[in-house]
A and B are shown apart, each in its own frame.
Chain A
Amino acid sequence: MPMGWAIMGAVANVAMVLLVSPLLQGIGRKLTARIQSRQGPPVLQPYFDLLKLLGKEDIESGETPVMQRFAALLSLTTVLAVSCLVPMGFGSPMNSAGDVIMLIYLLTLCGASTLLAGMAAGSTYSLIGVSREMMTMITLEPLLAVAILVGAVHVHSLRLEAVLSGSVYGNAGFPWSGLVMLAVMLLSLQAFVQRVPFDIAGAETELMEGPLMEYSGPKLALCQYAQMARLVIYSSLFSALFLPWGSQLTFPGEWLLFWIKVFVLVLLVTVIAATHARYRIDQALRYFAGLLGVSFVALVLATFGY
């Protein structure tokens, strides 16, 4: 792909993520409200919320305000950087800029920005949030890595384009490892996007938003924006890895189909979030550990070609 196309594609992806994620959030809130027999806010409310927060006074607070500001910027920029690497309705725009290892690192950095945010606040509650986030990351990140590795093993490549096109299902035979990983990722998607029952690090009723508790105004807007974008990113990754059908279509068809898949995934996440209670950190960790065990089995299966 020529340089020009790559840049245009990246810009298009970033713009779409920025544009669409508040809308999906708004739809999610509306759906949640309906499940709860409520009217709910207008679908466009998240845009207004962000605009309002962005227009507020930028207050320095917490123990290290510089780090706090940095963490807020980092969280949004990493998410946007990831969106340059993930195919969203057309091939991965920055395909040649990196491989899947880079993708995994960027996603980890995204989590690390939450840790930074919590440490910058320095209060007891945000530190508890940080320790929970850390524990979650340690058990959760390998899941995604294994899913990507299973794909990489199947296609014998670490190139983004090769791996992020339904590679987990392999080339021939019944895709055992792919299906196992599909189940594992479906069961952990909620945790990657930090929604109930796995919103443990920020648990409002326990930790008062944990790492984010010292944030307000524009910085909070950035963090919230990143949070919304995260949902889109992980849904895109999920559909690139596991729902490749329709990627042979030509541009508008493929593109439309992709956003429909993301939309359905967002609805799924919302419904699960609205019908569950929050897990405790030890319960969640046990759950992730179980999934991790299963995913290693899938990896072994993949290396043997299943």
Chain B
Amino acid sequence: MIARERLNQLRKRFDSAIVRADLPSDRQLFVWVRPAAVKEMCRHIFRDLDARYVVSIGADDRPYSGGFVVAHDFAFDQDQVLCSVLTQLPETEPKIDSISDVVPAANWAEREMRDLVGIESVGHPYPKRLVLPDGWPEDVHPLRKDVPWNHVPAEFKEGATFEFEDPPEGCTVVPFGPFHPTLDEPAHFRLYVEGEMVRGCEYRGFMAHRGIEKLAESVMSYNDIPVLAERICGICGCVHSVAYTQAVEAAAALRPPPRAEYIRTIMLELERLHSHLLWTGLACHIVGFDTLFMQAFRIREPVMWVAEKITGNRKTYGLCVVGGVRWEITPELKSELGQVLDRLDAEWGPVVGAISRDKNIQKRTQGVGIANKEVVKNAGAVGPVARAAGVDIDCRRDHPYAAYDRVDFEVITAGGCDVWSRLEVRMREVFESTAIIRQCLEKMEPGPLQLEIKDELPVGRIGLSSVEAPRGESHHFVITGENNRPRRWRVRAPTYQNLQAVPAMIRDQQIADMTISLGSIDPCFSCTDRMETIELRSGGKKTWSQRELLALSRGRK
């Protein structure tokens, strides 16, 4: 079913509520509806039409249309359609019915909308602060256009703390994080533990805000942002840079030359390779099997070297510009890349074999961290977490971008719903990735790398882009704007949704399984804790203030 047919389907039921509909292509659908109908339409799309929830976006549109804009994005994965339900809210009363009780996956996105843009979700089941630091004043919303990017609110309360819920009766509290050897980045889970069993948890994350979206919307230009986007994540940076560029290209109806699409595909797959190899190693490390950790990293290293040869960097590739790529794959690089892939295939096979035969690892991972289809649906989980639960989704096939429509590959799924299945999916995806790169190298024709863009990009258009990161779908939402920069850019990394499935995964499990369960979604907190204007620390019992800490760290040289 293409976008038009989906629209007709919605029209039949909600004709009076639909204000306007845009169909820029067969694959993207924008439905503008009256605020009162948003909740029912989202419920219909999510439950009756069985679409996957992607993300909700709030935008301050007051300087342009005099109000606020709210968008709820959904994906019809079988139809290859991305759908956005949009509505306009008046300037005076930025309030809308919460959809979280019918679409549980929207929980975080709606809280974030209130924190950052000040759009209230009425009837939200858990209306606690999500993104902003605890001491941040209630009425300052950093992503509003009248708040400058470098604003430091004078009313910031230095000593404020987050108020956690009371633990259930009979449970003790085990703080997991913000610093823990298996967490490479700060996040805090307050575990309610009974003996060795975890009975529940509360999450407080968003401890490393960098204000990336605000920076992009107020300071940078279209072609600066890919480089900034890349720095969202230390592992799947290229994914964000491609997703952003594609969103802008979709909004402006541009299509990069074929060779550029192939090169994007190759770099994305190289990124998946090194990410999956890294993750397999880390998973082994978490369960105490350091030998496989070391071997995985040894096998991974040549991938980093070849990426450095192609782009000049091991990790931050600096690949994308709007309408193309910056790096060419020369014949020498092509043959070297081929050799790296051959060696990787040859070395990875034995590791996969060893892990598959290892009863010890299977004991630690089978039946652990269960996320079944229902959990996946309700949390909007994506990537290997979804595929390990038998949910057959993969943006590379379902929402083809770059050159993925021209290569053959299998979408690996498994049915165990547990950590072991996620391990299996990721290990086998490595072989698919090497096959995809080989096909690209073969099919790539010589040609230009960048599109010549003579005119300014149109203003006020919306673009969506979903890219399959190693951890799942990265979704970017862009509204184009004046001054050569977007008005609104919203990044939703896969971990943003996958993390919301973690409480269900660790409930009634041993505390020893907590780390591997959390590890199995391959959490990426830097992707998730995406935005804030400034970084301010707050915390309860600390005797050091932020100012003192800064003075301390800067004073000693």
- A interface, CB within 8 angstroms of B: 32, 35-38, 124-125, 128, 131, 196-197, 199-200, 203-206, 208, 274-283
Contact = CB atoms under 8 A, between A and B. Distances in A.
B514 A36 contact: no
User: Which 5 residue pairs are nearest across A and B when measured between Cβ atoms?
Assistant: A278-B288, A36-B294, A277-B289, A277-B287, A280-B512
A277 B181 contact: no
Given A203-B288, A204-B181, A280 B510 contact: yes
Contacts of A279: 360, 363-364
Contacts of B173: 124
Given A36-B290, A37-B298, A124-B174, A278 B510 contact: no
Interface string B264-295: 00000000000000000000111111110111
B182 interface: yes
A203 B512 contact: yes
Contacts of B314: none
Interface string B492-513: 0000000000000000001111
A30 B358 CA distance: 24
Given A36-B291, A279-B363, A206 B512 contact: yes
Contacts, number: 78
Nearest to A132: B196
B172 interface: yes
Nearest to A123: B175
Contacts of B510: 280-282
B180 interface: yes
25 contacts: A32-B291, A36-B293, A36-B295, A37-B294, A37-B298, A124-B172, A124-B173, A124-B174, A125-B174, A196-B289, A199-B288, A203-B288, A203-B512, A205-B285, A206-B182, A206-B515, A274-B291, A276-B288, A277-B284, A277-B288, A277-B289, A278-B287, A278-B364, A281-B512, A283-B363
A2 B360 CA distance: 51
B196 A282 contact: yes
Contacts of A206: 182, 511-512, 514-515
Interface in B469-510: 510
Contacts of B284: 277
A36 B174 CA distance: 34
B520 to A, nearest CB: 13
Contacts of B294: 36-38
A199 B512 CA distance: 12
Given A124-B175, A205-B285, A277-B358, 14 more contacts: A36-B290, A36-B293, A124-B172, A205-B182, A205-B287, A205-B288, A206-B515, A277-B284, A277-B288, A279-B364, A280-B512, A281-B196, A281-B512, A283-B364
B102 interface: no
B361 interface: yes
A35 B291 contact: yes
B512 A274 contact: no
Contacts of B196: 128, 131, 281-282
A276 to B, nearest CB: 5
Interface in B335-382: 358, 360-361, 363-364
A128 B198 CA distance: 13
Nearest to A124: B174
A200 B196 CA distance: 13
A128 B363 contact: no
Given A205-B286, A208-B180, A280-B364, A275 B291 contact: yes
Contacts of A131: 196
A35 B293 CA distance: 12
